[in-house]
Structure 1
Amino acid sequence: MEFLDQLLFYPLDQLPFYLIALMIAFTVHEFAHAYAAYKFGDPTAKMLGRVTLNPAVHFDFLGIFLLLIAGFGWARPVPVNRDNFSRPRRMSVIVSAVGPLSNLALGIVGALIYAALYQFGVIDAVGTNRVDQAVHIFFNTFILLNFFLCLFNLIPLPPLDGYRILSEVLPPRVSARLRVIEQWSILIFLMIIIVPAFQAHTIRPLYNAAHMLSIEFLNLFILLFGG
């Protein structure tokens, strides 16, 4: 058990809560991409069985492995063929944007449920029993994680959604030049999540912003529920 505690990024006793939260966040994110692309006329994801809420279809082995030992990973990207869209640029932007927006929606819904449980006395503020403690850990993790994923995926670097959005809204000539860096996408991504110097300008500010969003939405819903 000590070996696992040293190997894993997350505390072993809290690992199930992180895995469940990530499973929901990743699955809904990728499903949103696949569903939007299918509705816009691209059957690629549908034919590959990606228009589903089955987590096993969306999880990537290396992404999950790095998640456990480094604290952050990824799901399997949804393949999209923009040539199947009637309006490729506009629809590509929407397909890319619905992923982060789905995480934003999950974070808001999570904050709403958490505030309701607290305000209506289902759980207490200090978590005096193990059930209350588990609820606190899960919702804090779930809300923060989804807000963070929303913000992180909007970074305009490949292979993130923010880059796909940027490449579609920029003039085609500029977008073509940007594609040169796509071959380095995995290296860029790994540097962002592993190298401390890059973390200081990406992961940490976004984590702080996600934390503030969590607090603001929780305070808002507690206020709405009469707190």
Structure 2
Amino acid sequence: MNRVSFLQSLLRSYGYHIAMITDYSIQAVAINAIPLIFAITIHEAAHGYAARKFGDNTAYMLGRVSLNPAKHIDPVGTILIPLVLILTGSPFLVGYAKPVPVNFGRLRNPRIDSIWVALAGPGSNFIQAILWAIFWVVVQGIGLQEPFFISMAKAGIMWNVGLLVFNLFPLPPLDGGRILGSLLPARQSIALGRLEPWGFFIVLGLVFTGIIGSLWMEPLSNFFLGIINLLITPLRMLF
């Protein structure tokens, strides 16, 4: 790998990657589908696993603490929205799955534990992004110049960073909204919770108008990509 930083390389090549995946080939779909399914499935399973650890078995009893994608896929959020973003050349890739049911009242310490349950999903995406970055470095380091694997590694990083940042947006029902609600005083938390029935539509509007992209997704994506670049620097030095 040359001396150009991992972050710069990813950002510069990503526009080309988006252009290439609009050819509708089975390979192009697989490049994005495989990382996306992993990203969303593990994200939702992590919520359920954390909830169970902190005292709520609701998701576990309903079979949602599972790595079976069929239990988490949402036709709109997992398939339609990502497909539209890909085909329109969006610089940010986001999606969602069927929310894992959590009874926050059954958590041992609802106010604090709900923060950890909410963070479990984005946290799993951050870990996956690091693993995809390691995969990318290793593939290039051993001289395996296979475009399929390299493109999949890039897609894996971008999907997971995109889901991580998107879900941290501080508006319910996103994870960031759950976290903010737990940190706010009771009165303000209740007021924020009243936005939940409309929150998702507000966020979608911000996504498709580009507002959330320029003011939230772009700076935070660069921040997390910078952290990933720093973490894998020792591995890159080995090659």
In the superposition, the TM-score normalised over structure 2's length comes to 0.80
Residue identity (%): 36
Q: Which amino acid aligns with 1:26?
A: I
> What SS does the aligned partner of 1:53 have?
coil
CA distance in 2, matches of 1:107, 1:198: 21
Partner of 2:85: 70
CA contact (8 A) 1:10 1:68 kept: no
Partner of 1:4: none
Deviation of 1:133 (Å): 0.6
CA distance in 1, matches of 2:21, 2:170: 28
Q: Which amino acid aligns with 2:43?
A: H
Could you list the runs of 5+ residues in structure 1 that have no partner in the other structure? Answer: 1-8
Could you list the runs of 5+ residues in structure 2 that have no partner in the other structure? Answer: 1-19, 87-93
CA distance in 1, matches of 2:231, 2:158: 11
CA distance in 2, matches of 1:92, 1:44: 14
CA contact (8 A) 1:111 1:221 kept: no
CA distance in 2, matches of 1:161, 1:36: 13
Partner of 1:199: 213
Partner of 2:134: 112
Partner of 1:150: 164
Residue deviations 1:160-181 (CA, integer Å, cap 9, x gap): 1111011011111220121222
Partner of 1:98: 120
**Range 80-89 or range 178-187, more displaced:** 178-187
CA contact (8 A) 1:159 1:189 kept: no
> What SS does the aligned partner of 2:195 have?
helix
Aligned residues: 210
CA distance in 1, matches of 2:70, 2:235: 33
In the superposition, the TM-score normalised over structure 1's length comes to 0.84
**Range 176-185 or range 81-90, more displaced:** 176-185
Q: Which amino acid aligns with 1:43?
A: N
Deviation of 1:202 (Å): 2.8
> What SS does the aligned partner of 2:95 have?
coil
Q: Which amino acid aligns with 2:41?
A: T
Deviation of 1:44 (Å): 1.1
Query: CA-atom RMSD, angstroms?
Result: 2.2
CA contact (8 A) 1:156 1:166 kept: yes
Superposed, which structure 2 residues align to 1:1-227 within 5 Å? 10-11=21-22, 12-13=24-25, 14-63=28-77, 64-71=79-86, 72-119=94-141, 121-123=142-144, 127=145, 132-213=146-227, 215-223=229-237, 226-227=238-239
> What SS does the aligned partner of 2:173 have?
coil
Q: Which amino acid aligns with 2:47?
A: H
CA distance in 2, matches of 1:18, 1:50: 23
CA contact (8 A) 1:193 1:203 kept: no
Deviation of 1:76 (Å): 0.8
